[in-house]
Amino acid sequence: MSLEVQEKTHVRVVFLGAAGVGKTALIRRFLQDTFEPKHRRTVEELHSRDFDISGVKVTVEILDTSGSYAFPAMRKLSIQNSDACALVYAVDDPESLEAVKSLRDEILEIKEDKYTPIVVVGNKVDREDARRVCGDEVLSTVELDWNSSYVEASAKENENVLEVFKELLQQVNLPRRLSPALRRRRETFPKDTDFRPPMNKTNSCVLS
């Protein structure tokens, strides 16, 4: 007896990264269009939002995790239950990039090498010293070696925040009722949801 494959109408994305890289700021900017400059420690917060995509209701859960790494069991469970992961680092903090590499290894181990959509986010490109960890190496490693997506963003300036969530949701198995034209033209995806309009894109950190 064959079982029908159900369309995915419930998606959970998890934000991971070192403390202070801006995970909460990115999520708050996306959901509330606000920015709080003062860093506040996050243990774990779950946000839920419904979207209408071509007449299909899709529930998107966004899990904001702790960056202190004091809760390994919670982090493991978060990864296990995720459909996609955003690995966030601050472009002016080389150590936070190393944390992203470690987190990716952990994801592959927990998921047992199953394909898991990963978007690496270089946040805080608005900072003047952002070029310190920018370069071909990061882009090449993420997109060519890891076969993942890479987005540079600034929660403070609302730069490419929408792109982060576009990439996450485009990589998971959303309802198959999405029209073929919509699937072919990935860039039109947000226009068929209640996402905020795209902002002007100006990269303040250029990969050369």
pTM: 0.77
- 19 or 66, higher pLDDT: 19
pLDDT at residue 197 in the model:
35
pLDDT in tens, 101-154: 999 999 999 988 677 899 999 999 888 765 566 556 788 888 888 888 999 999
Q: Which of 9-18, 25-34, 48-57 has the lowest mean pLDDT?
A: 48-57
Query: How far is 84 from 115, CA to CA, in rounded Å?
Result: 10
- 118, 107 in Cβ contact below 8 A? yes
pLDDT at residue 206 in the model:
34
How far is residue 24 CA from its own chain's centroid? Answer: 11
Can you say whether residue 125 is alpha, beta or left, with left for phi > 0 and alpha for psi between -120 and 50 degrees? alpha
pLDDT in tens, 34-92: 888 776 776 788 999 887 766 778 899 999 988 776 677 888 899 999 999 999 999 98
Residue 23 has pLDDT above 90, yes or no: yes
Q: Which of 1-15, 89-103, 162-176, 187-201 has the lowest mean pLDDT?
A: 187-201
Residue 201 has pLDDT above 80, yes or no: no
- What amino acid occupies position 142? V
Please provide the size of the chain in residues. 208
pLDDT at residue 136 in the model:
65
pLDDT at residue 30 in the model:
92
pLDDT in tens, 78-111: 999 999 999 999 998 889 999 999 999 999 999 8
- Helix or strand or coil: residue 1? coil
DSSP 132: G
Label residue 179 exposed, middle or buried (CB < 10 Å: 0-12, 13-18, 19+). exposed
pLDDT at residue 181 in the model:
40
Residue 162 has pLDDT above 60, yes or no: yes
- What amino acid occupies position 202? T
CATH pick for 10-192 out of 3.40.50.700, 3.40.50.300, 3.50.30.30, 3.40.50.2300: 3.40.50.300
